Structure 1
Amino acid sequence: MGLSPDGRVEQTDIYRELGVREVVNAAGTKTRIGGSLIREEALEAMNSAAEGFVELGDLQARASELIRDVTGAEAGYVTSGADAGLLLGAAAAIAGSDVQAMDRLPDTDGLADEIVMPRTHRTGYDHALRAAGATIVDVGTNDFHLGTGATNVEPWEIERAIGEETAAVGYVQKSYTQPDLETVVEIAHDHDVPVIVDAAAEVPPIDNLERFVETGADLVVFSGGKAIRGPQTTGIVAGRKDLIQSIALQHLDMHVAREAWDPPRELIDPDSVDGVPRQGIGRPMKVGKEELAGLIRALEVFVDLDYDALSAEWQRQAERAADALNAEDHLTATVSGGEGENVSPVTEVTLDETLSAVELVKALRDEDPRVYVGADGMGDNEIAINPMCLDDEELDYVVERIRDNL
């Protein structure tokens, strides 16, 4: 994407040929508008991988080594997105190394299938856990948001919810989630129950790749297609080797005779299971050789990035947008985020009562090319500009289109 001589954003060739309006992305790494831009190194790896064949188990074993090295986990695996990682993580917690149980999922009759979650960690994404056959047991309240000083979930509530039917404890990592992960891990491990952490959008900072494993999480799920900038259809699971093996057994193509079955020993120990599993619940979530190669290369590049420099660049862009929009009447723009666990700073734009954030968002999306801004604050008459997926020309274009649509 680039600018034409008249200052308009020109569409990428393929979208122009297909007659589909492109998006100028000021909303961040949102799946519905394509996540992020795949790194050039990853695209080169994908193109090269497309020219030959490979045993996917071997490629997954290589990915496991890399994920192990960058996260500190015992093993890792590449899935078809973070949500698929949650489904497969739940399937691993329920079935373990029992190939008969794998064959039955999502039927969990007679199996421990409950996943305990704090109520305020529940999201639409936990449908993935339920799709594996899990029953979610949520605990706690929403009292923290009443401002009374109460917390949403007390540690004892999680402990009391764990019983003989518990397969795992689910945890969604955000800056506001309670209790802290260390406390939840301690409770779960006292009952020999694994903890599955949804950290899909929690990198950068790069240190978060190790943080959750170091805290004791048994499985951690990241997106491969957001800030890592691998293929959008990839996710990363890092964690205990036995759980990663169960994921592999329920995901890889298992249409093979036992006599000819020779999986990579770094990923699967065939002697630890009764036989070759049938095609597992993860089989419809295939990851191709091209996506695997692209994710491996993108992750290699990502961990070598100068994150401080990248964060400073996002901060500069966010401040640039704020300065430009503060010159407009009826708007107040401030920069927030970018510290601690926040991925990047954003420009938060508050409209006064004479304007409507809903109408502005709709008008921007109706343009050609479409302009997507952060819309989570529309209820408070706010929009946001996230610089993660913008260059300076596109940032200026977004500011211009906001001004013209006021």
Structure 2
Amino acid sequence: MDEETTVYDELGVPRVVNAAGTKTRIGGSLIRPEAVEAMSRAAESFVRLSDLQVRAGELVSEVTGAEAGYVGSGAAACMTLAAAAAIAGDDLGAMSRLPDTEGVPSEIVMPRTHRNGYDHAFRAAGATIVDVGNNDNYLGTGSNGTEPWELAEAITEETAAVGYMEKAFSAPSLETVVDVAHDHDVPVIVDAAAEVPPRENLSAFVEAGADMVVFSGGKAIRGPQTTGILAGKREYVRSAALQHLDMHVAESVWDPPSELFDKESLAGVPRQGIGRTLKVGKEELVGLIAALEAFVEEDQAALDAEWERRLDVVADELADCEGLSLRREPGGKLMVAPELRVEVHPDAAGVDAVELVGSLRKEDPRIFVGSDELQDDLFAVNPMCLDDEEAAYVAERIRSYL
């Protein structure tokens, strides 16, 4: 593999060859060149961030079909802003007290099978998660994990929203959950952080009736890693903006963009809200705009073919390795890109999957592969963040441990 010096080499930090996909812990994805150029130009002058958020929101609204859009410092940040919007609405007093939610409805109802480590972002806004249903369908009993009536029964006067984690196996359907929630005048927040491509998903969840949808800007969209997209109803985006933008200004000269909210409808200038810690710089905002514009114009068929070709390189190199079984999995269901799933048979390979994957991570450069199923002696090679040379290098290094 080309030994070209990187900035990480200069810093004395091992770089990573990424065969795991768009994982935050190893840097997400590679920012699009046009976004890097835009960010560099953005750093050369100043802009009022609220004006820039209006422009970003217009683009988000255009590509998602939502009434409004906004940009936070990552998908988790946008989940926190969504929860804060559902809890506080336009109540400046409630905004100033978050995450203290005393006296304000702050429960977020979720199907139990949708609970995950990222829902901490809801709780960071002061929400209490109420999960319903069970896990029986995954245990093979034939029953559903969560019935619609269970969601309905869990919604009370203390409910601020219903949370939904979008995956191929998510149940009940989003349309069903939306019907239940809206029957009780409660909004639905969808965590769709990694659910693009296909680009059609940018609008699919809004079309299904979700009130707020969250996407990562730093995964397949390939914007700055510290960007996330919030798309949804104008009333919730307005609340998110009020709790996120820098409002530390005298009321006599406060002149926020009317596209975000109507100054005259508010009791005064909000205090710095819970979103202050989730701020986005002008460079990130401009970079996300450039990346999103490029993403919606991208030739997905050509990209799919490129990913398949890189998997061919890895599969051809490993095909005759004793102790390995290979299986190709198509993209578009549980993962965006196709993957090569590699099962390790320790007796024949002389190494198990845990040892192999752990050894790859200790190399310089480090090699990361998909590690979600190590307990079953399985790992995955994902081509999204590899170039052709790196694909060959990953296969060579895997083979070296057998």
TM-score, normalized by length of structure 1?
Answer: 0.97
Q: Look up the match of 1:129.
A: 122
CA contact (8 A) 2:105 2:160 kept: yes
Deviation of the 1:346 alpha carbon? 0.4
Q: Decide whether the 8 Å contact of 1:201 with 1:226 is kept in 2.
A: yes
Residues 198 and 332, structure 2, Cα contact 8 Å, conserved in 1: no
Q: Could you tell me which residue of structure 1 aligns to residue 352 of structure 2? A: 356
Rounded to whole Å, the distance in 1 between the matches of 2:11 and 2:178 is 49
- 1:42/1:295 contact within 8 Å kept: yes
Aligned length: 399
CA distance in 2, matches of 1:151, 1:317: 39
Query: What is the correspondence of 1:281-292 to structure 2 with a 5 Å cutoff?
Result: 281-292=274-285
Letter in 2 for 1:30: K
Q: Distance in 2 between matches of 1:237 and 1:337?
A: 28
Q: Quote the RMSD (CA, aligned, Å).
A: 1.0
* 1:103 aligns with one of 76, 85, 96: 96
**1:294-314, Cα deviation, whole Å (9 max, x unpaired):** 000000000000111111221
Q: SS of 1:129's equivalent?
A: helix
Which amino acid is 1:207 matched to? E
Deviation at 1:11, TM superposition (A): 5.6
Q: Distance in 1 between matches of 2:332 and 2:269?
A: 48
Distance 1:57 1:12, change over 3 A: farther
Q: Distance in 2 between matches of 1:13 and 1:373?
A: 21
Instruction: List structure 1 segments (4+ residues) > 4 angstroms apart after TM superposition.
Output: none
For 1:196, the equivalent position in structure 2 comes to: 189
Matched with 1:387 is: 383
Matches of 1:261 and 1:292, distance apart in 2:
22
Query: Is 1:299 the counterpart of 2:295 in the alignment?
Result: no
Where does residue 314 of structure 2 map in the other structure?
321
8 Å contact kept, 1:172–1:198? yes
Distance 1:241 1:271 in 2: 17
Conserved in 2, the CA contact under 8 Å of 1:202 and 1:222?
yes
Aligned mates of 2:238, 2:397 — CA distance in 1:
50
**Of 94, 119, 141, which aligns to 1:148?**
141
| Residues 1:265 and 2:252 aligned together | no
Query: How far 1:146 sits from its partner (Å)?
Result: 1.1
* One-letter code aligned to 1:262: D
Deviations 1:64-84 (A, max 9, x none): 000000000000000000000
Aligned to 2:373: 377
Distance 2:50 2:267 in 1: 19
User: Structure 2: any 5+ residue segments left out of the alignment?
Assistant: none
2:279 & 2:121 partners in 1: Cα distance?
A: 16
1:335 positional shift: 0.8
Are the equivalent residues in 2 in contact too, given 1:11–1:22 (CA < 8 A)?
no
1:43 counterpart (27, 32, 36): 36
Change (3 A) 1:341 1:358: closer
The 10-residue stretch of structure 1 (311-320 or 352-361) with the greater mean CA deviation from structure 2: 311-320
Deviations 1:178-206 (A, max 9, x none): 11101000100111100000000000011
Letter in 2 for 1:399: A
C-alpha separation in 2, matches of 1:185 and 1:337: 30
Contact 1:11 1:369 in 2 (8 A): no
| Distance in 2, Cα, partners of 1:190 & 1:61 | 32
Amino acid at match of 1:292: L
| Alignment partner, residue 400 of structure 1 | 396
User: 2: distance between equivalents of 1:352 and 1:213?
Assistant: 45
**Which amino acid is the alignment partner of residue 145 of structure 2?**
N
Secondary structure at 2:285's aligned position in 1?
helix
**Identity percentage over the alignment?**
65
Shift of 1:271: 2.0
Q: Does 1:27 align with 2:23?
A: no
Shift, 1:341, TM fit:
6.4
Shift of 1:318: 2.0
Aligned pair in 2 of structure 1 residues 112, 136: CA closer, same or farther (>3 Å)?
Answer: same
2:266 and 2:258 map into 1 onto residues whose CA distance is: 13
- The 2-side partners of 1:37 and 1:11 are apart by 17
- Cα deviation, residue 326, structure 1: 1.7
Residue 119 of structure 1, CA deviation? 0.7
CA contact (8 A) 1:322 1:333 kept: yes
Distance 1:155 1:315 in 2: 40
After superposition, the Cα gap between the structure-2 partners of 1:376 and 1:342, relative to the gap in structure 1 and judged at 3 Å, is closer
CA distance in 2, matches of 1:24, 1:347: 16
CA distance 1:12–1:211, shift in 2 (3 Å): farther
Task: Name the SS of the counterpart of 2:237 in structure 1.
Answer: helix
Counterpart of 1:367? 363
Quick one: which amino acid aligns to residue 225 of structure 1?
A: G
